Chain A
Amino acid sequence: MSALSDQLVTFAILAYLVAMISHAVEYALGNARKVPAAAPARELVGAGVGGPGGTVEEPATPVPPAATRASRSAARAALAGRIAAWITALAAALHLGAVVTRGIAAERMPWGNMYEFVLTVTWIGAAAWLAVLWKQPSLRRLGLFLTLVMVLLLAFAELKLYVQVVPLMPALQSYWFIIHVSTIIFASGIFLLGVVPAVAYLMRAGWEQGKRSFPYTLARRLPAAAGLERLTFTLHAFAFPIFTFAVIAGAIWAEAAWGRAWGWDPKETWAFISWVVYAGYLHARATPSVKRNVATWIAVVGFLTMLMNLFGVNFFFTGLHSYAGV
């Protein structure tokens, strides 16, 4: 079972990689429409691609050859994008298989160490992405960034964090373990997904303001900034109460296991920091005098603090949480 899980992880990484390439093809084909003569048709096609479902209507009236070429390449781009989305779904299915078989092999919830933690968090991120995509197909181009994040994190987990299946130690044998860890994982997965539109928004907003230097040029083919910003907020507003609950559940569990609800152990300290930063994000977004891109930066910083808590704290500090096992 454990070996099957490992194989499924490898396949999932490969599938995310293929999805990423397919997304990149969509991107590249989208960028090919630079033919000046095609200007009017470009608008038409652009609107079609951006719309729900991403279908392209073939113009009925004769158009200049350059425009046809452009529209054909746009159709190909849309096809590549749709294929990418389906492959992402396939990857997520393999990924889920890996999580489940790992749990079966360990005869417990598969969240006993960092490797399993990252495996599950990334799956939540991917699943939530598919749900977002289902509701708002026009955001599909974000998939390039999402699959990139997936490949990086999973490959890192596979190469650096992998451990054999082992049972839990006594301190982890508690139903609070399931409650605390599952909600932390869920919230982390949504925050992970949330950082994708956040970064995309920051680049796209710069592009829309006329910035044409390096990171902003990547945003040329991204969905409109306002929509990305709204998605960023929706995901964070969804994840924040869950994260809050998870931290509270952790405190309740810590009271039973370690005799104190809160002891400023490094993990707890960083959870506090993340919580305060994300509260700051929600606050900033509600403050009219704070610009949206400033608020979004705070969300990105929030995600960095989550990463710090997951990787930094486990590697650099030792605390009560360190038995979670690198």
Chain B
Amino acid sequence: MTTVDDRPAAPPAGAPRRRVNPVLALLRNSWRQLTSMRTALILLFLLAIAAVPGSVLPQRGVNPEKVNQYFVDHPDLAPRLDQLGMFEVFGSVWFSAIYLLLFTSLVGCILPRARDHVRALRMRPPAAPKRLERLPQHAVLEAPAAADPEAIAAVLRRRRWRVTVRGNEVSAEKGYLKETGNLLFHVSLVAVLLGVALGSWYGWHGNRILVSGADNAFCNTRQQYAEASLGPRVDSADLPSFCLTLDRFEADYLPSGQASRYWATVTVDHLDDGSTRTAGFSVNSPLRLGAANVYLLGNGYAPILRYTDRYGRTQTSTAPFLRTGDQNATEEGVALFPDANVDPKTGKRAPDQQVAFDGLYLPTAPDKAPFVSSQFPEERNPAVVLAAYRGNLGLDAGIPGSVYQLDKRQLSNGKLKQIGDKKLGLGEKWTLDDGSTLEFVGTQPYITISVRHAPGQTMMLVACVTLLLGLMGSLFGRRRRVWFRVTPPEGGSPTSGSSLVEAGGLPRTEHPGFAPEFAQLVAAVSDDGRDGRRAREGDE
């Protein structure tokens, strides 16, 4: 490549000097600094460095639990890092400042370059320098076949040079694609950023667990998501209205326990037009509903636990247990029965008689103790290993608790007590000390889904394609110029019937292949006829 023509920095000398407003001068100088290649380079580097903490430290947007864990592990350091935005690097003020400056610099850089480029495209290739022999490439053609300027121009045009003829001189230039591509590339970068901005303003997404069965259907409202985030320009009322029911979930496993296929079948009810359809989706092939896409992120089982309290009243919990992360799908979770042991006479909740169970669910329990982890991810010998608790579950305290964990404070302050533990196979029943029973009835599969609307994506995709095209044009395009000067035969010379042609070539960007290209060109001009015929034959 590459020599960059720096833009003319100063106005032509000699113009009468006016007093310059110092503020304006400062502004103009800062702008010039900001839009220089050097600044762009420094900002690029800063951007790369600024991204590093985003991979080293846990990020809220990627993994909020890990951020909380970090606060627990580093109680002193974490709040200070948090103040610096280290857990949300890619949304932090300093990261934004760097890329906004970079893109300002970029726009300030490409606008004048685009203008210059359009101008250059309109201009004719420049006149030949006086002394062609000083150029990097030079040749003298004796008695060439194409001996007059128009014939030479024709040869060049056939090879797709931009040509202009001035008297007995031919100027030609090629490789505008380089600058065109470069501008396209940089403009595309801006377009990608705009696509990102569009997505974050007008996009939304939510995550939740969907347990199979019609009772567990979910409708697309903000309250129904465990976790949702709406762009600043999106209102809860804007969410498209549809409901999803998980009809079936299939998972195939290899003998090693590795999953080989997942498939979720759902019923989609569109509430706007009342239409209903069933659809299937999987990892790598999301359910595209038009207004939003539904992605399959995970799956598991929700044990069905039936508790019969001391008054003989029965309640059933189908709470999803979450994967612990081991290979064989051991899950842990909790089943809460806050309405247990309500005295039928008074009908009042007894806050110290609530019941809960927590522990593990094993899709394939081992035959012998210890029952701590599953042997296979598929349900072959399902079992739950549970501890029972009675007392106050702390659900009314107004402190939001997790639905996947017991409130540990209630245990430590003694309001909730453990009253035993047991392993239950499918259909087995456990009688507790007060005569109440817990039965492990079965399981329901569940899936974890992400529902998402990302409006900037088409724009980003298009911008990525033009970015690549521009990049290739920019990297592989080569600007070069050639000139031919025809000297007519000297009037009286008896021997020379033909003209003398001199040629010069100048690669404007580093281009090792230019010498051979120039030689070929000269050869083509030398025997215009044959070359022309060959070219025409090639066209047919």
Residues of A within 8 A of B (CB): 166-167, 169-171, 173-174, 176, 230, 233, 237, 240-241, 244-245, 248, 251-253, 255-261, 263-266, 269-270, 272-273, 276-277, 279-280, 282-290, 305, 313, 317, 319
Contacts and interface: CB of A to CB of B under 8 A. Distances in A.
A241 B475 contact: yes
B461 interface: yes
B4 interface: yes
Interface in B50-84: 51-52, 54-56, 59, 61-62
Given A167-B260, A237-B475, A287-B37, A273 B48 contact: yes
Given A170-B284, A171-B283, A287-B4, A261 B457 contact: yes
A317 B54 CA distance: 11
Contacts of B282: 170
Contact of A255 (B4, B48, B261, B457): B457
A242 to B, nearest CB: 10
Nearest to B510: A230
Interface string B31-50: 00000011011001101100
A283 B471 contact: no
Interface in B464-479: 464, 467-468, 471-472, 475-476
Contacts of B295: 257-259
Given A170-B262, A287-B38, A263 B62 contact: yes
Residue of B259, B297, B464, B510 with most partner-chain A CB within 10 A = B464
A166 B258 contact: yes
B127 to A, nearest CB: 26
A171 B258 CA distance: 12
Contacts of B460: 261
12 contacts: A173-B284, A237-B476, A241-B468, A256-B285, A257-B295, A258-B295, A259-B286, A259-B293, A264-B61, A269-B51, A283-B40, A319-B62
A286 B284 contact: no
Nearest to B325: A318
B390 interface: no
Contacts of A288: 3-4, 6
B54 A269 contact: yes
Given A166-B258, A170-B259, A256 B286 contact: yes
A228 B78 CA distance: 47
B41 A287 contact: yes
Contact of A170 (B52, B260, B286): B260
Contacts of B40: 283
B205 interface: yes
Given A170-B282, A261-B457, 17 more contacts: A167-B260, A170-B259, A241-B468, A241-B471, A241-B472, A248-B468, A257-B295, A259-B297, A259-B450, A260-B454, A269-B52, A269-B55, A276-B51, A277-B44, A283-B40, A289-B37, A313-B55
B402 interface: no
Interface residues of B, number: 54
A290 B454 contact: no
A305 B295 CA distance: 31
Nearest to B284: A174
Contacts of A269: 51-52, 54-55
B1 interface: yes
A285 B293 CA distance: 43
A264 B468 contact: no
Contacts of B176: none
A288 B38 CA distance: 9
A288 B7 CA distance: 13
A224 to B, nearest CB: 14
A257 B258 contact: no
Contact of B59 (A230, A264, A272, A289): A264
Contacts of A257: 283-284, 295
Nearest to A277: B48
B44 A276 contact: yes
Interface in B433-454: 450, 452, 454
Given A248-B468, A280-B45, A170 B283 contact: yes
Contacts of A286: 1-2, 4, 37
B488 to A, nearest CB: 42
A171 B44 contact: no
B90 interface: yes
A259 B3 CA distance: 43
A265 B55 CA distance: 7
